[in-house]
């Protein structure tokens, strides 16, 4: 059994570790530090941790001000309150002046679970990727989340780091894997269909690949952990090899990874495509796994869409 | 002798403010759009800050130990631009490029374009949070500079202002000094008709701030109030500045219609005449 850990935990632990090395890191939270895992940093560096209370707009603005004095602020709260409630503060106080603030948003997507639809951000990628100059990162596991913290801390511009609540298995990949901003990760090769996934759906895509193999369909799986800037070359190459693609994300099918990939393919290499994601609807309360099943975000759903698009290619 | 020097200095500061008003009107007329009313109400405050209180070096706009100013009511950009140009951050001639394509003088201040602009502002309600962040950052670095922030009274209707007011008091940001341009008018009319914000002094005091009520057109009083605010090192201060929207130009004073409308070129002479009349009275 592989090790399981939530990406928010990988984030929080790495932030506390990196705090020693990089004294210019400061952390802000909005009364959720035990959930966003910034409490690890707060315990070790109380002078560099600012709890802004339940004031997300103020959280983003204060982070922006701190960034002007040579600090790299990590501003954390739930994705719904970061990208949603404080969207315009992120736009005008952080992205417009291109300040190096890392908006580290946890509890993204349906797997928030029992808190329900009001708390499940399924449109945050769409909102953040529309902002000029915003780097949008979605780790597939806790290891990648930690590497993204390191990359974001020295990037020098605004970053949206999308993190999840639920534990996810650590991906099987070489020990020397090093995340690089803007580079997609080819996890498995295949020439019948390409599956582009992000976040928790990367593991689901790998499981879908195994299901497809039973039917002699060879799928490639690409982890698109940088949604912006998108690795256009990797996407076009996988589409060229396979001739059809499926995207999988724990996000609305409108405006997220699926849309981003469709934009690239429409302009550079049009091939048949299917999207797995939340179908323009809000979520609801439930166990995370039950929610993923109800809203069509399982390995089976990815496999079905893969077969469908593979048939479309051949017809 | 000393009093004489101070009096002369005040006379000079008042002349500076009037010159600033002239730049404000001229650049808005040239641009054909902009916000004269709330820019003119700030001329004396800007003068007290850039020509007296603030430790800045126009030759080194990124000097880490400089005082900072955040113009939260970013639509008063002409007042900030005039002050920066007169202080030597960029040529005064450049004021004529306000709001034009390719200009560094954007309709609302852009810190990435123009030296001396400390924060990109314009979307109301956001400046105080940024100022607090700067103040926290300076404290972390052991720098004893002050962060000044100018807000509008209409802007008090933005909830984020009060979130940030709480933060500044909670973190005991004595290095934050706020100015509230209390001119009682906003775009749609008198603030009290649009949505009342009074009693502002009581509100800010209740939020934990040291409040100083001052005539926003009396530079000597402003200077004194700033000194008083600086002496409070463990509590943020708010200068509640009674001002006149459109101050200095007779036909604009106390008229909401001049919030966001440029005078016609034909009105420029009358505006300047009005300013000169006012200067003689001072």
| Interface contact B115, partner A, CB < 8 A | no
Cross-chain residue pair A58–B137, CB shorter than 8 Å: no
The answer, for B42 touching chain A at a CB cutoff of 8 Å, is no
What number of other Cβ atoms are within 10 A of residue A268's Cβ? Answer: 13
Kindly report the average pLDDT of chain A as a whole number: 97
- The answer to whether A89 contacts chain B (CB < 8 Å) is yes
**Is B144 touching A (CB cutoff 8 A)?**
no
Q: How far apart are CA B43 and CA B86, in angstroms?
A: 12
Which pairing describes strands B189-190 and A245-252: parallel, antiparallel, or unpaired?
A: unpaired
Cα–Cα distance between B44 and B41 in angstroms, integer? 7
Average pLDDT over residues A151-180: 95
Searching chain A, which residue's CA lies closest to the CA of residue B109?
A97
A55-72 pLDDT, tens digit each: 999 999 999 999 999 999
Q: Which of residues 58-97 of B touch A (CB under 8 A)?
A: 64, 70
Q: Min CA distance, A61 vs chain B (Å)?
A: 5
CB contact under 8 A, A58 and B160: yes
For residues A68 and A49, give the distance between their C-alpha atoms in angstroms, rounded to a whole number: 17
- DSSP 8-state assignment for residue B56: -
Contact A78, A115 (CB under 8 A): no
Look at strands A185-188 and A102-106 and give their pairing: unpaired
Strands B189-190 and B210-215: unpaired
Beta strands in chain A (DSSP E): 4-6, 25-29, 49-51, 72-78, 102-106, 135-137, 159-162, 167-169, 185-188, 193-197, 219-223, 226-228, 245-252, 273-278
What is d(CA B20, CA B51) in angstroms, rounded to the nearest whole number? 12
This prediction has a pTM of: 0.97
pLDDT in tens, A38-54: 999 999 999 999 999 99
**Hey, is the C-beta of A118 within 8 angstroms of any chain B C-beta?**
no
Q: Which residues contact A259 (CB under 8 A, 6 or more apart)?
A: A126, A253
**Would you call A88 an interface residue with chain B, using a CB distance cutoff of 8 Å?**
yes
Q: What angle do CA A28, A31, A33 make, to 5 degrees?
A: 65
Nearest Cα of chain A lies from the Cα of B25 at a distance, in angstroms, of: 27
Residue of B nearest to A52 (CA): B167
**A92 chain-B contacts, CB cut-off 8 A:** 120, 122-123, 126
User: For an interface test with B, which of A22, A61, A156, A158 has the most B Cβ atoms less than 10 Å from its Cβ?
Assistant: A61
Query: Which residues in chain A are closer than 8 Å to B160, comparing Cβ atoms?
Result: 55, 57-58, 61, 89
Q: Is the pLDDT of residue A178 over 50?
A: yes
Any CB–CB contact under 8 A between A216 and chain B? no
Contacts of B93 (CB under 8 A, 6+ apart): none
Cβ neighbours of A73 in B, within 8 Å: 133
Q: Give dist(CA B279, CA B282) in Å, integer.
A: 5
The predicted structure's pLDDT at residue A3? 82
Task: Report how far residue B82's alpha carbon sits from residue B26's, in angstroms, rounded to the nearest whole number.
Answer: 10
Yes or no, beta carbons of A89 and B119 under 8 Å apart: no
Q: B158: nearest CA in chain A? A: A57
B122 touches chain A (CB under 8 A): yes
Say how many C-beta atoms besides its own lie within 10 A of residue B220's C-beta: 15
Hey, are the CB atoms on B133 and A68 less than 8 Å from each other? Answer: yes
Return the structure tokens found at A269: 């290499």
Cβ contact (<8 Å) for B137 and A89? Answer: no
For the four alpha carbons of B178, B181, B186 and B189, in that order, the dihedral sign comes to positive
Q: Which residues of B touch A53 (CB under 8 A)?
A: 163, 166-167, 170
**Are A65 and B141 a contacting pair at CB < 8 A?**
no
Tell me whether B120 touches chain A (CB under 8 Å): yes
Residues in chain B with CB shorter than 8 Å from the CB of A50 are: 136, 171
Alpha-carbon span A185 to A190, nearest angstrom: 14
The pair of structure tokens assigned to A244 is 């059809």
Query: Whole-angstrom Cα distance, residue A34 to residue A249?
Result: 26
Average pLDDT of the residues in A230-238: 98
Contact between chains at A89 and B160 (C-beta distance less than 8 A): yes
Is the pLDDT at A134 greater than 90? The verdict is: yes
Nearest CA distance, A53 vs chain B (angstrom): 8
Chain A residue at shortest CA distance from B130: A65
**CB < 8 Å from B in window 56-75 of A:** 57-58, 60-71, 73
How many angstroms from the chain centroid is the CA of residue B40? 9
At A246, is the pLDDT very low, low, confident or very high (cuts 50, 70, 90)?
very high
Tell me: pLDDT of A173 over 90: no
For residue A27, list chain B residues with Cβ-Cβ distance below 8 A.
none
Q: Is the dihedral of CA A144, A241, A253, A96 positive or negative?
A: positive
Q: Rounded distance, CA A196 to CA A132, Å?
A: 23
A25, A65, A96, best to mutate vs chain B, most B CBs in 10 Å: A65
With a cut of 90, say whether residue A203 has pLDDT above it: yes
Query: Average pLDDT, stretch A102-116?
Result: 97
Judged by DSSP in three states, B72 sits in coil
Mutation choice for A interface testing from B64, B121, B130 by most A CBs within 10 A: B130
Neighbours of B213 (CB within 10 A): 16
Q: Looking at chain A, which residue has its C-alpha nearest residue B142?
A: A69
Residues of chain B with pLDDT under 50: 281-282
Distances (CA, A) of A128 to A94, A99, B279: 12, 15, 51
* CB environment A271-283: b (16+ within 10 A), e (fewer): bbbbbbbbeeeeb
- Asked if A131 has any chain B CB less than 8 Å from its own CB, the reply is no
Q: Given an 8 Å threshold on Cβ–Cβ distance, is B141 in contact with A70? A: yes
pLDDT score for B282: 47
Q: Which residue has the tokens 């010159």?
A: B19
Between positions 4 and 33 of A, the ones with CB within 8 A of B are: 26
Smallest Cα–Cα separation from B193: which of B201, B185, B181? B185
Size of interface A-B (CB pairs under 8 A): 111
Q: Which residue has the higher pLDDT, A3 or A186?
A: A186
Q: What is the pLDDT of residue B75?
A: 98
């Amino acid at each position: 059994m592989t090790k399981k850990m939530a990406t928010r935990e990988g984030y929080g632990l790495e932030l506390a570790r990196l705090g020693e090395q990089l004294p210019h890191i400061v952390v802000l939270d909005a009364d959720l530090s035990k959930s966003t895992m910034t409490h690890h940093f707060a315990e070790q560096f109380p002078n560099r941790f600012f709890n802004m209370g339940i004031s997300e707009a103020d959280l983003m603005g204060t982070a922006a001000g701190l960034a002007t004095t040579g600090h790299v602020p990590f501003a954390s709260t739930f994705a719904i309150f970061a990208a949603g409630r404080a969207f315009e503060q992120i736009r005008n106080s952080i992205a417009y002046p291109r300040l190096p603030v890392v908006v580290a948003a946890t509890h993204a997507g349906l797997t928030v679970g029992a808190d329900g639809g009001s708390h499940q951000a399924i449109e945050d990628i769409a909102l953040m990727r529309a902002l000029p100059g915003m780097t949008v990162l979605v780790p597939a596991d806790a290891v990648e989340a930690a590497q993204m913290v390191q990359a974001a801390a020295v990037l020098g511009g605004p970053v949206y780091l999308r993190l999840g609540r639920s534990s996810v298995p650590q991906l099987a990949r070489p020990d020397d894997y090093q995340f690089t901003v803007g580079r997609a990760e080819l996890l498995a090769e295949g020439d019948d269909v390409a599956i582009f996934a992000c976040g928790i759906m990367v593991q689901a895509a790998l499981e879908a690949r195994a299901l497809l193999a039973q039917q002699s369909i060879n799928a490639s799986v690409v982890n698109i952990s940088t949604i912006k800037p998108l690795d256009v070359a990797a996407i076009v190459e996988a589409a060229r090899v396979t001739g059809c693609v499926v995207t999988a994300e724990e996000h609305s099918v409108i405006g997220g990874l699926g849309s981003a990939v469709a934009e690239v393919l429409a302009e550079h290499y049009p091939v048949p495509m299917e999207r797995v994601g939340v179908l323009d609807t809000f979520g609801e309360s439930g166990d995370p796994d039950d929610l993923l099943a109800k809203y069509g975000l399982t390995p089976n759903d990815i496999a079905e869409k893969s077969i469908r698009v593979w048939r479309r290619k051949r017809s | 002798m000393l009093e004489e020097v101070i009096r002369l200095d005040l006379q000079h500061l008042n002349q500076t403010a009037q010159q600033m008003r002239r730049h404000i009107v001229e650049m808005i007329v040239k641009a054909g759009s902009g916000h004269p009313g709330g820019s003119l109400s700030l001329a004396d405050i800007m003068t007290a800050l850039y020509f007296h209180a603030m430790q800045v070096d126009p030759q080194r706009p990124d000097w880490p130990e400089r005082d900072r100013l955040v113009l939260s009511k970013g639509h008063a950009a002409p007042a900030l631009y005039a002050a920066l140009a007169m202080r030597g951050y960029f040529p005064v001639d450049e004021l004529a490029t306000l709001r034009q394509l390719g200009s560094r003088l954007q309709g609302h201040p852009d810190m990435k374009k123009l030296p001396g602009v400390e924060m990109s502002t314009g979307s109301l309600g956001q400046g105080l949070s940024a100022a607090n962040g700067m103040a926290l950052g300076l404290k972390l670095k052991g720098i004893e500079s002050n962060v000044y922030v100018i807000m509008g009274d209409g802007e008090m209707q933005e909830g984020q202002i009060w979130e940030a007011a709480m933060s500044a008091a909670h973190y005991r940001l004595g290095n934050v000094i706020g100015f509230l341009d209390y001119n009682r008018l906003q775009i749609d009319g008198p603030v009290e008709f649009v949505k009342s914000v009074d009693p502002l002094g009581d509100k800010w005091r209740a939020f934990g701030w040291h409040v100083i009520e001052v005539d926003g057109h009396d530079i000597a009083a402003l200077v004194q109030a700033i000194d008083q605010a600086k002496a409070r090192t463990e509590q943020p201060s708010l200068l509640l500045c009674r001002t006149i929207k459109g101050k200095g130009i007779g036909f604009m004073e106390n008229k909401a219609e001049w919030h966001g409308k440029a005078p016609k070129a034909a009105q420029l002479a009358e505006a300047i005449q009005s300013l000169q009349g006012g200067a003689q009275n001072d």
